[in-house]
Amino acid sequence: MSEKTFELPDVGEGLVEAEIVEWKVAVGDVIRLNQPLADIETAKAVVELPSPYAGVVRARYGEVGDVMAVGSPLVVVEVADDVDAAATGAVAAPAPSGRTPVLVGYGVEQDDTAPARRRRARPSAHPAPAAPALAPPPPPPPTVAAPPPGRASDGRAPRSTPPVRLYAKQHGRDIATVVGTGRDGLVTREDVERALAPTVPATGLARVGTGPSSTSRFVGRDIASWRDGPLEERIPVTGVLRSMSEAMVRSAFSAPHAAVWVRVDATRTVELLASLASHAALGGVRVSPLTVVAMAMCDGARHYPGINSSFDDAAHEVVVRRRVNLGIAANTPRGLIVPNIKGADQLDLVAMATQLTELVDRARAGTTTPEAMAGTTLTITNVGPFAVDGAVPVLPPGTGAIVAVGRIAKSPWVVEDRVVVRHVVELSMSFDHRQIDGALASQFIAHVGRFLEDPALALLLG
């Protein structure tokens, strides 16, 4: 028998660390080739790691929540001497098994200067020494104490499902302390919620002003309501929150931001969309205001190529791209991600609508790939669905401009010296002031505005 150490691999694009989300094996387990060992979370994806060896788990490094460096030991497996690495199917960089990565974070760039925040990972068990030739008779079995509440009889954490374990972790609750009421002691979400019931400090004062009992979304997770949540809650900065915060800080302190905005009479856009909604030739394709804005931005980039640029600090160069990879900020159950439509400037209205629908559906289903988030050149963030008129967005790293689209709402508007009711939308744009000056930014956003004022003519003229 010999021992093989499986080290944490780089699962994509030069990552340097990953967090253990869930262990799927324990020390002493007999495992087969490609059996899932653990779920890990990087700044880009939750990935299931398959075992490159078949044998017995002799050591396991790190616990759930630990951040491990790429290349550090993860699992030690005892394998038969006559089974070499080729026979066991060892792989250098295992890929997700049976599911598509779930993306997290704002963009896909990795900040090599980000300070490391790793906890020292220790083996949960040492490799077992070789047995002597003549083993002494085994001692009588020790008296086994009853497992603590929430623990299985073998001392491992109680049975549950990955979503429930993640929910407990996000709310700072050790699932081992939760008593399961499901079948065969399964810990359910309701069990975790009961365990999270707030405790009022022993001050003798009643908790007043409880507010609504509905949950809300925050940093990619459900948080308890004002009434039901703890008086103070701490959320670990990991996964989507960590990726987004580091990207935004890097952008804010590396690129000097400036902003321009314009209010637009989008009545003709609304009328065009209404006429297309029931058009048989579209075959059920939904053309939305976001579709028209996307077409307008691509048209603006063709007229003002400098807007589709980025600043290369390392090379001391400004990079102008004559191909638009249009990023769309998408609010997903795991948080904010920005996939992009490759070559968006080459699409017509129907193709753009189809691509946008597929992009948003994949993002919300958690099936966006890392490649779909790479190479963004221009970005749209749509705050209109949240009943917001406008915003000043932060640039995604590596891009030159991002446009925020507010809601389209009826508003008083002056037409030929008369006040009439029109559909009005506000567009605002943040840009990198190192290479994009105020004149170029103003020309571009004004061009996008004119496109929305008469989209049929703009689409016709191309």
Considering just the CA atoms, what is the radius of gyration of the chain in Å? 27
Phi, psi of 365 (to 5 degrees): -85, -5
User: Which one from 303, 316, 433, 447 is the annotated catalytic residue?
Assistant: 433
Count the alpha carbons within 13 Å of 330 in the hemisphere toward its beta carbon: 29
171 is catalytic: no
Catalytic residue set: 433
